Amino acid sequence: MRIGIAGIAGRMGRLLAEETIAAGAALAGGTLRPGASLDTLPPGLPVLPDIVALCAGADVVVDFTHAHSARAHALAAAETGTPLILGSSGLSATDEAAVAEAAKRIPIVYAASFAPGVALFLAIAERMAAALPPAQYDAEIVEMHHRQKVDAPSGTAIALGRAVAAGRGTTLEEAGRESGRDGHCGARGTGTVGFAALRGGQVIGEHTLLFAGASEHISLTHRNFDRRVYANGAVRAALWVKGRAPGLYGMRDVLGM
Is 149 marked active-site? Answer: yes
Instruction: Using DSSP, state whether 223 is helix, strand or coil.
Output: strand
Handedness of CA 39, 1, 103, 224 (dihedral sign): negative
Burial 97-121 (b: 16+ CB within 10 A, else e): ebbeebbeebbbbbbbbbbbebbeb
- How many CB atoms are closer than 10 A to CB 140? 19
Choose, from 73, 145, 207, 222, the residue flagged as catalytic: 145
Amino acid at 137: Y
How many C-beta neighbours within 10 Å does residue 92 have? Answer: 12
DSSP 3-state assignment of 176?
A: coil
Phi-psi region of 183 (alpha: psi -120 to 50; beta: other; left: phi over 0): left
Burial (0-12, 13-18, 19+ Cβ within 10 Å), 43: exposed
207 carries an active-site annotation? no
Contact 145, 205 (CB under 8 A): yes
The residue from 66, 73, 104, 149 that is catalytic is 149
Give the residue among 198, 219, 230 at the shortest CA–CA distance from 86. 230
Q: Which residues are catalytic?
A: 145, 149
